[in-house]
Amino acid sequence: MTVIRNMTREEIQSRTGRFSSLKPMSTAKNLADKGVPLEAIDIVFARRLMPVVLEAANNPFGNASPINGAGGMSLHLSICPPGQGPCLHSHNSTYETFICLEGRWEFSVGDKGQEKLILEKWDTFSCPPRVYRGFRNIWDRDSALMTVISGPEDARDDVSMPPHIAGELEKFGPHIMKSFDGVFHFDKPA
């Protein structure tokens, strides 16, 4: 027999994330505090990446979210200005599913981003593990994207980048590359 329980008001509040209270991921702030310029952070992350649900595990998105723990799922909102979005990257143990909430997003998929896909309002794209993907806002104003990452609870630090992205970041100086240590790693050339 299944036992159903009630939630207390406190439990309900601890499982509620209000958009007005969301904070940008702590990783971007930590990088900015280390002197990493916004232009370098913009290569890797969505301009405003706001975690809503996170597991209590290593996480390239930081550890600040209003809701913690959801059975191996994390959820983020990305809001980017026109032309901005994260570079090619791979989640190597987890699925990353994207839902366009507002605007238009161009996804690049493949080792060189050779396959293109455009998502418009309410469209969804689910990318399996070990596939490079990147995306950018191709609308004339801010666009909003919901991202759900699912898989093993302890696999949130499974992000890697293709080697050519290192060249884009190296132009900001060697200290910038060091600032990204522990956030992701670069794959070796094929």
Q: What is the pLDDT along the chain (190 residues), one digit of tens a residue?
A: 899 999 999 999 999 999 999 998 888 888 898 889 999 999 999 999 999 998 876 666 667 789 988 888 899 999 999 999 999 999 999 999 999 999 999 999 999 999 999 999 999 999 999 999 999 999 999 999 999 999 887 776 788 999 999 889 989 988 888 888 878 888 988 7
* Domain-located, residue 53: yes
* Domain-located, residue 35: yes
Domain count, the chain: 1
* Partners of 74 in the β-ladder: 149
* Domain-located, residue 7: no
> How far is Cα 149 from Cα 167, in angstroms, rounded to an integer?
27
* Domain-located, residue 188: no
173 lies in which domain range?
24-178
pTM (2 d.p.): 0.91
CATH code, domain carrying 140:
2.60.120.10
- The DSSP letter of residue 150 is E
Q: Please, where are the H alpha helices in the chain?
A: 9-14, 26-33, 38-44, 164-170, 174-179
* Domain-located, residue 189: no
Question: What's the token pair of residue 150?
Answer: 């699912």
* Domain-located, residue 3: no
* Domain-located, residue 13: no
